[in-house]
Chains A and B, each alone.
Chain A
Amino acid sequence: MRTEVLVLTSLLTAACGAPGPRPGPSDQTTAPVAPAMANLSAATTPLRAVTIRGTLGVRREGAQTLEPMPLDASLVGVRELKADRRGAVIAVGADARIYLRGGSHVVIAEGRDGLRVAVKTGRARLVSGQVALVAVTPGGEQTGADLLVDLDTATPTSARPELAAFSLALETPETARSVGTLEAGERKDAVTLKRLEVDVTTAGDLAVTEVAHIFHSSASEQREGTFRFPVPDGAMLIGLALEVNGKLMEGEIVEKEKARQVYEKIVDEMLDPALLEWEEGNWFKLRVFPLEPNRDKRVVIRYLMPLERMGTDWQYAATIAGSEPIAELTVRVDGQVALSEQQVGGIDVAVPVPSARVPAVMREIRPDGVYTAVRITPTFEGAAPVKAGPRKVAIVVDTSRSSLESRPQELEVLGAALGTLGDQDTFVVLASDVATQAQTKSFVAPTPEAVQAAGEFIRAIEPDGATDIAAALVAVDALDPTDVVFIGDGIATWGERQPKALAEQALHIGAPISAALVGKGASRELWSEIAGVTGGRALIVKSHQDVAQFALGALAPALPRITGARVLGPDGAVIYPATAMTLAPGDEVVAVMKTAAGAPAPAAVRLVGMRGGKPYLQEVALTVATSTQRVAQRWARQELARMELTEAPREEIVALSTNLGVLSPYTSLLVLESDEMYKQFQIERKQQQAQQLAQAGPTVTGGDLDSLGARQASLSPDEIQPGDPEIKIPAPADAQSVVVTFPFGETKLAVWDDEIQAWMVRFLIDLSTPDGVYTVRVTVTQADGRIDVLQLPYTVDTKAPLATVTAVKVAGGYKLRVKQLAPGKRKDLDRVEVTLPDGTILLLAQTEWGLFEGVWATTLDAPVTLKVVVRDNALNQAIQSVTIEPS
C-alpha cells in the first residue's frame, strides 16, 4: 500500500511540474474541452461537496489526516477526497463535477491546464467544465469532457455508460437498494429489520446473492405482513425462501395459474402459504403470514447478478441501503466475511474477487444439454482511428397510439439527447406513426429555442395510428444524417416488420442508430439488431437514471467500434446474444449457448463483425472450460425472452422456467409451509434440490462432477500453516486423469479413492510460503476427452491471532470475553483457554462470530492476572493476559 501511495504522489508531482507538451489523448475518444482555468492554485481551487450520501473525508494541503467535510462547505486547498460508505459529488468551479463511488479515494492536484485527479481506490467520474479535469493513471494522463477513472484506466464515459450508473444514482433521490421491507398491517413500526445477512457466492463471472432479512415483530398479537423487495438493476431473481414454523422453506417456481389456485385454496383453509409477485418496476411483493408476536421472521431472496470488471480484476459491487438504518449487516463473499457492521444507513460494497475464480469459459452439463458461457474481449489493436466532426442527428419519436402513456418519458429522452449536442452539431426531429413528418426541412443548430420548438412539435401531435418503422427509416435515409436516435416502444405494427429486413434498410442509412425504448411494452428485440448492425446501442428506459445513461452513450463521440458483431457457435448450438451487437473498446461479450447432451462439447466460437469497414473475425477456443453453476439459468433467461417474443406455446415456456429455475411471465414463486403440502399439490421440489446441491459442503457424494458443480470439490483444511492438506475432487471414477497444479510449480495426479468415492491428492506447503490466499487448479480429463477445470482456494496463515480480552463482574463471578480483532475480516479465532490461578483451565465457548465467553465463578480480594491462550483456525497460538481487579 505504501508503494502505491508513493507512485501516485510521483505521478502527481510529475503532472504538476514544469509546463511542457502534455501527452495527447490516447485515441480519438477525447472530446473538446472547454478552455482551462489558468493558474489554478491550492488557495483558489473552488471545490464544494454538493452530494454526500455517506461521509466525505478530505485532506488539505499540509495536513496528515483526512477530516470529515460537511455538505456545501468550501474545499479550498484540498489534496485528497475519500467517500466512505456511499458516494459523493464534488463541484469544481461552476460546472465541473467529480463523482465518487462509495469507498473511493482520489488524490487531486492543480496544474496549469486543469485539475489532475488520480484514483487510489474505487472509481470516479470526471466531468470537465470551465475547469478541465485531467485523469492521471499509470498509463499517463487523459483529458476528456467526461471520463470514468479507476486505478488503472480512464475511459470516456460515453464508451461504457453502464459503468457510470453510480454517478447517475447520485443525482437522483435515494431509494432502497437490495433491502426489503416488511409491513404488518396498518402499523409499520410493529416490525423492524433486526439483521440483514448478505451471502454472495461467485459462480464464474456471476454472483449468486442471497439476502436474508431477519425481521422482528414487536406486536402483541399475530399479524399478517407484506414483504417488498427491490431486485437490483440487471439482477435475475432465482429464489425465495421463507421461515415457516422455525424451518426455512424453499419456494418453488410454479405455473402462474396453478400457483394462484393453490395459494387461494390454502388461504381459504387459514394456513400460511406465500406467493411472490411482481409489483412494479424492480419491486416484488410477498404476503407473509403469520408474524408471531415478539418473534423473528426470516425471509430470503436469491438473485444472480454479474461481477464487475475493475481494470483487469473483478469485484462484487453492490449498494445496500434500506429505508431505515439496518441494525446489523453482514456481507460474506465466498464464505469470507467482507463486512460486519451495525446501524448501517447504506453502504456501497466492493469486494475483490480473484481473477482466477473468473474463468473465460464456463460450462454446466445437465441431463437436458450442455450449457457453455464464454467471455470474449474484442481487440481494437490496430483499428483505424475514427474521425470526429460536427454531427447531423436525426431523432425519430414514435407518436403512434401506443405512445400515449409514454409521451412524457419520450419527451424526457428527447430533451436529454438534444442536451448532449455540441455547438457545431445540428439536428432534426421526426414524428413517426403510419407516416413520418419532420419538424424542420433541414438540420438546425441546437439553440435553446430550437430545442424548445422540437419538444413542442412532439407535444402537439395527438398519439394515434400504428408504427411504420420502415417508413421512418426511409425518411431518415433521405436526410443523410451522421447519427440517428429512435425514441419509442420499438415495436413495428405497420409496414415491414421483419427485423432482418428492417436492419438491412437501417444499414443503408450509413449512420449509427441508437434506440431509447420506452413504455410498458418496450421491446429491444428489433432494435438490438438495428443498433447492432449500424453501430448504435439500444436501451430499455424505465427511469430518470436510464434516460441519463442513454443520453451518455447514444450520441457518443466517434469511437472505434465493431458493428454487426455476432457470436457464431457450432451447428445446432442455440447461442445468445442472438442479435447483432455494437462493441467498443472495453466491452466484453458473454455468449452463452446450449448444445445437445451427449454430443461433443463445442470446441470454439467465432466473434464476427465489421471493424473500420473491414471484416472482423476472432476465434475463441472452448477446450478448457471451468465447471460453473448457473450457466444454464443465464441461457434460459434469454431463451425465455425469445420464446415470449415469438409467442411460443405457454406450456413450453412454463416447462423451461420450472426446469431451470428462472421466472417467466407465466410462472410464480410459491412457498408452502411443509414438504407434505408440496406433495399434496404435486409440486416438485426442484428449487429445493438445486439449492441443496449448491449449498452442499465438502461431503462425500461420489456423484458426477458436472452435476455436482465445482463447489463440491474441497481442499481440507483450507486455512493452514505450512503442512500437508488434502484435496478431494468428486470427478467421475472413469475420468481419464485428474491433474492438480499448485501455484508453486508442482503438478500432481489425483488418485481415485474407492472408499471416499472421489479423487484424492495431498500436497505440501513449504515452510517458506508467504501468508496469503492461493489457488489450486484441477484439470479433469473426462472419459470422453472433455476437459473441466476447477479452482480451489486455500489460505496460508502463520500469524498468531489477535484478540481483546476483557473481564466483567457478573453475579457469582467474572465474565471473560475474548473478541477477535480486525472486525470485518474472515473468522479466525477458533479456541480460547484461560488458565485460572489454581491451574485449572477454563475453555471459553464461542457465543457469536469471533467472540468467546465464559464465566469464572469466584470472588476476589486482590488483583489477579490470568493467562489466556488463543488459537486460530490454522492452529496458530498466542498467549495473552488479563488482569482483574476486585470489584
Chain B
Amino acid sequence: MLALLVATALVHTDLSEVRACLPQSDGAILVGTGGGLVRVDATGAVTQTWTAMDGLPGTRIDGLALIEGELWVGTDAGAAAVTLEPTLTVTRTAATTSVHGGAWFEGARYLATDEGVLKVGTAKPLPYAEKAANAAKRNRARTSSLAVVDGVLYAGTAHGLHKLTKGKLALVTIESGANEVTGLLADGNTLYVATTAGLFARTADVVQAYGGGELRALARIDGVITVVGVGGTQQLDRGRLVAAGPKATVLATIAEQGGVACTGGIDGLWLRAAQTWTAVARPPGPPANDLSALAVDGTKLYVGTFDHGLAVLEAGTWRAITSPRLDRRINAIHVASDHRVFVGTAAGLSIVGTDGVVSTLGKRDGLPARGVLSLAPLADGRMLVGTLHGAAIVGTGRPIHLAAKTNLDLGNVWAVAQDATGALWLGTTTGLYRGTVDDQNWTRYAVATGHLRDDWVMAIVTRGDTLWAGTYKGGVTRLDTLAAPTATHLGDGWINPGGLAFDGDSLVAATMEGLRTSALDGATWKPAGTLPSKDVTATARIGAVQFVATRRGLVARSFTATTP
C-alpha cells in the first residue's frame, strides 16, 4: 500500500499588508505581514519569508516584540519565541492566541496579548483590580502594548490604560473617551499613550492631550515622538502634532533602531534611512491572502479573493484581472470549455471573455439577486447560478428563475449542481432542493426529513447516482440513489462555500478547520498536512500539483508516493 507524502510545498502569500515591523541590528528589517514574517534588506527587497508552513504558530503576523534579546512573534494562531538562524526554531510558546508587544520588568518578560498581560512562563494573565462587565472584560484583555515608566508597568488595552499595582492591573484615567489604547512609549518619566482618540502624555499624573485622530502606534524617530494611524504619520513638534512622514490611509506600526526606521499598514511598507522615508514596492504575490475560489484552465490557475479581486497564476507569475465591471468580492469561479471565465461576485455574474473583455449580469439583467454565491455548468452548456435570493439558469437569453413556478422561496443558494440524470440540486439555508431544468417538482431534503444534519448547505458535488452535500456545521452527507435518496452522514464539519471537490478517487473537503480527504465510499476523513491556515476554502489540481486556497494564502503541493 502506498501513501502520498508532500514532497514540495510552495507558498504564495500577499506580503503587502504590514502589521508589525522591527529593525534589526544588522540593518535588515523584520516585517510582520498578513502573509507571514518577512526579512527585508535595507532597500526593502524580501530576503526570506516564514509562514505557518515553516513552524510559526500562524501565518498572519499580529505583533513582533524583542524583549531582552528574545524575539516574540504573535500570529493569528498563537505566539512563540523564535530564533531565525540558521532556520526558524520555536524556543518557547505562550498560553495566548497572539502577542502584540512586550516589556522587560523586574527581571521578567511580560507580553501584551489578546488575553491580557502575560508574564512569560506563567499560564494565566495578570488579574485586574476592578470588576468589569463582560464586554469591558473582553476589551481590557485586548492588550496592545506595554511600557515601564518610573518603575511601574503600564498596559495599553482596548478598555483603557492600566498599571500594575500590588500584582493587579488597575485602570488609570487618561481622559473621557480615550478608551482604546493602541500604543505606549516610555520617555524618561513621561508615558506617551496613543489611542483611537489621539495622543496623550502622562507625567506624574498630569495628562496632556495632543489630539491627532485615530492612532495605531508610536515610536521615537530621530529623537522625535512620531505617531501613525488613520491618515498617516504625525510628529510631535513644539507641543503639537503635525503631519510628517508617509501619508497613507492607515499605518499600523512604526519602529526605529540604530537609525533605521520602518512603518507600514494596509498601504504597504516604508523604510527610513538618512532621514528620508521611502515606500517599498509591493512584493509579487496574490492580491490578498484571503482566497475564496479556485478554477483551472490548462496551466492557468484562476484565484478569486474574498475582497481583493481576481488574479491568475501561470508559470509562477501572478497577474491581476481587473475591470470596472468585475467586483472585487469573489464567491465562485468556473472556467467554461470555451475558456470564458465565469465569476460569481457580490455584485453579479461577470464573464471574462477570451479577449479579456468583461461583461456582467446583475439583477437588472434578470438574475434573482445581485450577489452570486455559486456556479455549476449544465450538461447543455448553460450555467446554473445560485444567488442571494434564489437560483437561475443563465444561457444566451434572459436568465430563467428556478422554483418560480412553484413560488418556492429558496433564499440564499450557496451551492448548485446537476446530477447524472440531469436533475438540478440547490443547496440553501433551509436544506437541499432537487428539481428539473423545466422547473417542475422541487423536492426538499432537510433536517426535518431526516436527510441532513444541518440545513445550511454550503457545497454539493455529484458523481453517478450519488451526491455529497457539505453543510455549515453538520459535516458531509452522502445521498445515494438520488431518485429516492438514502442518507449517510460522513461526519466532519464546517464546510466552506463550494468546499467539496473530487481529486481522483478521493473526496476533498475544504473546511474551516483544515483540508480533509476521504475515499468516495468511506467515512474516514484524513487531515491533509500543514497549511498556511486551518481555514481552507478551495482546492484545484494542475497535473501533479495540488493547489490549496486558504484564508492566509495559497499553497502548491506536489506529492511523492511512499510505503507507510
Q: Which residues of A pack against B, CB within 8 Å?
A: 4, 7, 138-139, 151-152, 311-313, 352, 354-356, 359-361, 375-377, 379, 381-382, 588, 603-604, 618-624, 721-724, 726, 737, 739, 743, 745, 747-749, 751, 753, 755, 760-762, 764, 766-768, 772-773, 777, 779, 781, 787, 789, 831, 833-835, 839, 841, 867, 869, 871, 875, 877, 879
By beta carbon, the residue of chain B nearest A376 is B176
Contact (A779, B230) CB under 8 Å given A623-B198, A624-B197: yes
How many residues from B make CB contacts under 8 Å with A? 73
Contacts of A152 in B (CB 8 A): 130-131
**Separation of A762 and B288 alpha carbons in the complex (Å):** 14
Contacts of A749 in B (CB 8 A): 249-250, 266
Q: Do B306 and A762 touch across chains, with their CB atoms under 8 A apart?
A: yes
Contacts of A723 in B (CB 8 A): 472
Q: Do A360 and B131 touch across chains, with their CB atoms under 8 A apart?
A: no
**Separation of A379 and B202 alpha carbons in the complex (Å):** 12
Given contacts A313-B132, A739-B230, A869-B447, could you give 6 more A-B pairs where the C-beta distance is less than 8 Å? A360-B175, A751-B328, A764-B551, A777-B196, A781-B231, A831-B430
The answer to whether the Cβ of B535 comes within 8 Å of any Cβ in the partner chain is: yes
Q: Do A762 and B307 touch across chains, with their CB atoms under 8 A apart?
A: yes
Q: Do B198 and A621 touch across chains, with their CB atoms under 8 A apart?
A: yes
**Separation of A593 and B231 alpha carbons in the complex (Å):** 26
Q: Do A620 and B129 touch across chains, with their CB atoms under 8 A apart?
A: no
Q: Output the least CB separation between B527 and chain A (Å).
A: 16
Q: Output the least CB separation between B511 and chain A (Å).
A: 9
**Separation of A621 and B535 alpha carbons in the complex (Å):** 42
The answer to whether the Cβ of B134 comes within 8 Å of any Cβ in the partner chain is: yes
Partner of A377, one of B131, B142, B176: B176
By beta carbon, the residue of chain B nearest A152 is B130
Q: Do B173 and A377 touch across chains, with their CB atoms under 8 A apart?
A: yes
Residue of B197, B205, B207 with most chain A CB atoms under a 10 A cut-off: B197
**Separation of A779 and B551 alpha carbons in the complex (Å):** 25
**Separation of A739 and B252 alpha carbons in the complex (Å):** 12
Contacts of B175 in A (CB 8 A): 360, 377, 620
A sample of 23 inter-chain contacts (CB < 8 A) reads A312-B136, A313-B132, A355-B136, A356-B139, A361-B177, A381-B206, A382-B206, A588-B176, A603-B211, A620-B175, A621-B209, A622-B211, A624-B214, A721-B473, A739-B214, A743-B142, A751-B328, A762-B329, A781-B230, A781-B231, A787-B230, A831-B430, A841-B444
Q: Do B265 and A747 touch across chains, with their CB atoms under 8 A apart?
A: yes
Contacts of A869 in B (CB 8 A): 446-448, 455
**Separation of A45 and B535 alpha carbons in the complex (Å):** 62
Q: Do B454 and A621 touch across chains, with their CB atoms under 8 A apart?
A: no
Partner of B449, one of A356, A737, A767, A841: A841
Q: Which residues of B pack against A, CB within 8 Å?
A: 62, 97-98, 114, 129-136, 138-139, 142, 158-160, 171, 173, 175-179, 196-198, 204-214, 230-231, 249-250, 252, 265-266, 290, 306-307, 328-329, 346-347, 362, 370, 429-430, 444, 446-450, 454-456, 472-473, 494, 512-513, 535, 551
Q: Output the least CB separation between A147 and chain B (Å).
A: 18
Q: Do B429 and A835 touch across chains, with their CB atoms under 8 A apart?
A: no
By beta carbon, the residue of chain A nearest B429 is A875
**Separation of A620 and B130 alpha carbons in the complex (Å):** 26
Contacts of B535 in A (CB 8 A): 766-767
Contacts of B134 in A (CB 8 A): 772
Contact (A841, B448) CB under 8 Å given A749-B266, A755-B362: yes
Q: Do B329 and A379 touch across chains, with their CB atoms under 8 A apart?
A: no
Partner of A604, one of B129, B211, B444, B551: B211
Contact (A737, B456) CB under 8 Å given A623-B213, A767-B513, A779-B230: no
Contact (A379, B346) CB under 8 Å given A621-B198, A624-B196, A761-B307: no
By beta carbon, the residue of chain B nearest A833 is B448
**Separation of A623 and B175 alpha carbons in the complex (Å):** 14
By beta carbon, the residue of chain A nearest B19 is A745
**Separation of A89 and B210 alpha carbons in the complex (Å):** 48
By beta carbon, the residue of chain B nearest A352 is B133
Contacts of B173 in A (CB 8 A): 377, 379, 381
Q: Do A623 and B212 touch across chains, with their CB atoms under 8 A apart?
A: yes
Q: Do B210 and A621 touch across chains, with their CB atoms under 8 A apart?
A: yes
Q: Do B214 and A779 touch across chains, with their CB atoms under 8 A apart?
A: yes
Q: Do B448 and A359 touch across chains, with their CB atoms under 8 A apart?
A: no
Contacts of A751 in B (CB 8 A): 307, 328
**Separation of A603 and B210 alpha carbons in the complex (Å):** 11
Q: Output the least CB separation between A789 and chain B (Å).
A: 7
Q: Do B207 and A359 touch across chains, with their CB atoms under 8 A apart?
A: no
**Separation of A623 and B451 alpha carbons in the complex (Å):** 57
Q: Do A360 and B455 touch across chains, with their CB atoms under 8 A apart?
A: no
Q: Output the least CB separation between B159 and chain A (Å).
A: 8
Q: Output the least CB separation between A746 and chain B (Å).
A: 9
Q: Output the least CB separation between A2 and chain B (Å).
A: 13
Q: Do B252 and A747 touch across chains, with their CB atoms under 8 A apart?
A: yes
**Separation of A841 and B347 alpha carbons in the complex (Å):** 35
Q: Do B455 and A871 touch across chains, with their CB atoms under 8 A apart?
A: yes
Contact (A354, B135) CB under 8 Å given A382-B205, A745-B98: yes
Contacts of A764 in B (CB 8 A): 290, 306, 551
Contact (A753, B210) CB under 8 Å given A588-B176, A621-B198, A833-B448: no
Q: Do B307 and A748 touch across chains, with their CB atoms under 8 A apart?
A: yes
Contacts of B171 in A (CB 8 A): 312
The 9 closest A-B pairs by CB, nearest first: A360-B177, A621-B211, A377-B176, A381-B205, A767-B512, A833-B448, A623-B213, A869-B448, A623-B211
Contacts of A151 in B (CB 8 A): 131
Q: Do A787 and B213 touch across chains, with their CB atoms under 8 A apart?
A: yes
Contacts of A871 in B (CB 8 A): 455
Contacts of A312 in B (CB 8 A): 130, 132, 136, 160, 171
Contacts of A737 in B (CB 8 A): 230, 249-250
Contacts of A313 in B (CB 8 A): 132-133, 136
Contacts of A875 in B (CB 8 A): 429, 455-456, 472
**Separation of A721 and B472 alpha carbons in the complex (Å):** 10
Contacts of B209 in A (CB 8 A): 618-621
By beta carbon, the residue of chain A nearest B200 is A621
Q: Output the least CB separation between B31 and chain A (Å).
A: 16
Q: Output the least CB separation between B472 and chain A (Å).
A: 7
By beta carbon, the residue of chain A nearest B493 is A767
Q: Do A379 and B177 touch across chains, with their CB atoms under 8 A apart?
A: no
**Separation of A751 and B213 alpha carbons in the complex (Å):** 22
Q: Output the least CB separation between A118 and chain B (Å).
A: 11
Q: Do B329 and A375 touch across chains, with their CB atoms under 8 A apart?
A: no
**Separation of A726 and B160 alpha carbons in the complex (Å):** 29
Contacts of B249 in A (CB 8 A): 737, 739, 749
**Separation of A841 and B175 alpha carbons in the complex (Å):** 59
Contacts of B307 in A (CB 8 A): 748, 751, 761-762
Q: Do A787 and B135 touch across chains, with their CB atoms under 8 A apart?
A: no
**Separation of A336 and B544 alpha carbons in the complex (Å):** 54
Q: Output the least CB separation between B531 and chain A (Å).
A: 15
Q: Output the least CB separation between B427 and chain A (Å).
A: 13
Contacts of B98 in A (CB 8 A): 745
By beta carbon, the residue of chain A nearest B371 is A726
**Separation of A222 and B511 alpha carbons in the complex (Å):** 66
Contacts of B178 in A (CB 8 A): 360
Q: Do A138 and B129 touch across chains, with their CB atoms under 8 A apart?
A: yes
Q: Do B177 and A375 touch across chains, with their CB atoms under 8 A apart?
A: yes
Contact (A753, B448) CB under 8 Å given A739-B249, A767-B513, A789-B214: no
Contacts of A841 in B (CB 8 A): 444, 446, 448-449
By beta carbon, the residue of chain B nearest A841 is B448
Q: Do A739 and B177 touch across chains, with their CB atoms under 8 A apart?
A: no
Q: Output the least CB separation between A247 and chain B (Å).
A: 29
Q: Output the least CB separation between A787 and chain B (Å).
A: 6
Contacts of B447 in A (CB 8 A): 869, 877, 879
By beta carbon, the residue of chain B nearest A834 is B448
**Separation of A356 and B179 alpha carbons in the complex (Å):** 8
Contacts of A352 in B (CB 8 A): 133
Contacts of A877 in B (CB 8 A): 447, 454-455
Q: Output the least CB separation between B454 and chain A (Å).
A: 6
